[in-house]
Chain A
């Protein structure tokens, strides 16, 4: 039988890293920056959190909950912010090609993650190729104490660490900000037509920097959530996989609306683990095929979005283009 009560929480925890990535990338793209460096940024976010937590765990005699939570988060934010700043400096200030810069950032970010991951593994002298930060995991993934007593309601709605709720809150807050606030209106204008925004007195460079850096920090949290909560505080090189690319595909799937990323990420999370819940017998090949479902869905969605003609559902009109006021 298909166990829905067991399935949903696992889909959610699979979906949360995607949600962070998708929301971060959406707000970045709203400013007209197609940041293909997001997968790399998520790696960097993850490893920076790991580095912070690693040194705190190894140096503190008695761990304080607040610090155990704050140190990895601040490290993660600082690392992803730096990646966002590099991307902005290259594409906005120096007006480098966004696609090339983004792809380079991803390669760079994955490399950084694996390099420092490998170094830490050496430092810790572990005999397995991974670092386990189980105490930090304990603090970050702590759930509400009463969740256990609430049966299936507790399991489906309250069994997650606070970062999961933070992702949902961020998605909602950003959705409201983008559609309802003056800042959101300005941001949309920058992504649609920077020349128009500029002529209207909006500081295009500032908006692009802010949106991209905030987006990078949000995406970085996805990497952190993956290691500290989903993977029980265990970092091993390349474990994060291609979740970053799925997050970028999700941005298209959600037609640039952060609100939609909540259900869409959980749906994708579900698709990723569907193979564990559908009896496939002993045939491993079938299982592997099921693992491909999210990618097939992404391709189908890409086809459908390209067929769609509504103007409101199109990507920001100047996505991927750099802006220079005196360009003629």
Chain B
């Protein structure tokens, strides 16, 4: 087969298999990557993309199969050996030491003689100038934004002379502007002859950045396609394994009644910074109220204030029950709110921190919401167990069993468990924060579907989101926050992306000062 006009791949995988106990993460995967291309690795959550890449970067070692670099079989037993082969990976969860500076993190573990921070910083500045990064070498990591941390990660890999860069869902945590910046950098690297593998499940990004797409499904390699000849529907179907309808339904709200009445809400963080200022709005039953805004505009504080987890400085949060009685929620903790008969469900941003206990299994996590219902001394284990099995079946959670610790599941499956549990308590108000963050397309649409079902049940849904396209397709009304203030509330059916984008950065958007 070796003919002159076929290039040798810089990286080739042959029959790679990796198991974790009973779970097969990758099965007989073969894949080639060529010099100077940007390859998108596409797959649903838990399809084994990250595991596969971890084997190339030396974090895991394959159980079967071989890896070839520039045509030579290699054995990559540690990240250091991967670096020696000029392979570097930027992980989804950044591998940085918080208390060290950018420079210290970048040179960590390198063998270049005596420690010379100044010289290293100089070299970092050169790399930044070459590809168009912005990094302060002396800044401590804990002072950095997510996007800055990611930049440090990329520079770290380049500093080590990597020619093959693997990025694991790099855009999951970035704003659209930051994503554009990242893509510009990636294109510069491609021009410089570097090979880039990017793991993602955002179709638009696949189409805009990659030259070729390789698709994984359930740990197996499905196919690859030249991006220029592919379309969203075709890629989605290949990734999911069956045809998916890429439309979000938006039924008209039925008989909307006021459920939450929030007025003049002001919240200050523990260090005295105003997080929410004079926020007033209403949420209605049978309606999805979207909340848009740049990350950190007060979305988290707003939801936590309603859920009773955040100290409120000023204002009112009234819950209106079916008979029309108003109840003040401020000053009550979640337990008291539940005792009042207010059925509130909260899907927090930090799934494993606030939502679920990672070391507990699915059934026990279900019990966290129901353990108080039991009568005797002992908890009722049967109902949560059944609920867990129900959620697994209904939401297609990919798990060996309901007695698997939640932390062992992939991000999307964790989210499904959490959403499933919260919905099972049949709430009247459902608060969700970035509920599809990190989820693949199929899981996301499952979640949108679930949220819509709740809406049809007459639940007042508050949906904090970051993807404006989705907000505009899903929500009945969209409230835009800007720096802790309400920038405006628009109709989801008539508003445009541009209009909301402007309101996100300026109070009232363009309409106000023109």
Interface residues in chain A, defined as those with a beta carbon under 8 Å from any beta carbon in chain B: 180-182, 185-186, 188-189, 192-193, 195-203, 311-312, 314, 317, 325-326, 328
Contact = CB atoms under 8 A, between A and B. Distances in A.
Interface string B71-104: 0000000111001000001010001111110001
Contacts, number: 76
B100 A200 contact: no
Contacts of B98: 192-193, 311, 317
B14 interface: no
Interface stretch (B26-34, B107-115, B297-305, B370-378): B107-115
Nearest to A316: B99
B59 interface: yes
B281 interface: no
B336 interface: no
The SS class assigned to the B binding surface is loop
Nearest to A184: B115
Q: Pick from B91, B95, B114 the residue with the most CB of A within 10 Å.
A: B95
Contact of B109 (A181, A189, A317, A325): A189
A317 B91 CA distance: 19
Interface in B94-137: 95-100, 104-105, 107-110, 114-115
B16 to A, nearest CB: 15
Nearest to A183: B115
Q: Pick from B100, B108, B110 the residue with the most CB of A within 10 Å.
A: B108
Interface in B186-205: none
A317 B100 CA distance: 12
Interface residues of B, number: 29
A196 B104 CA distance: 12
B140 A195 contact: no
B114 A182 contact: yes
Contacts of A317: 98-99
A200 B60 contact: no
B234 to A, nearest CB: 32
Interface in B12-30: 20
B99 A202 contact: no
A119 B440 CA distance: 69
Interface string B141-167: 010000000000000100000000000
Given A180-B115, A185-B115, A201-B83, A196 B108 contact: yes
B326 interface: no
B390 interface: no
B366 to A, nearest CB: 22
Nearest to A326: B60
Nearest to A314: B99
A40 B99 CA distance: 32
B99 A312 contact: yes
A203 B77 CA distance: 12
Closest CB pairs A-B (n = 8): A201-B80, A200-B109, A196-B95, A202-B109, A200-B108, A201-B109, A199-B95, A182-B115
Contacts of A199: 57, 59, 79, 89, 91, 95
A199 B110 CA distance: 11
A189 B97 contact: yes
Contacts of B250: none
Interface in B393-433: 407-408
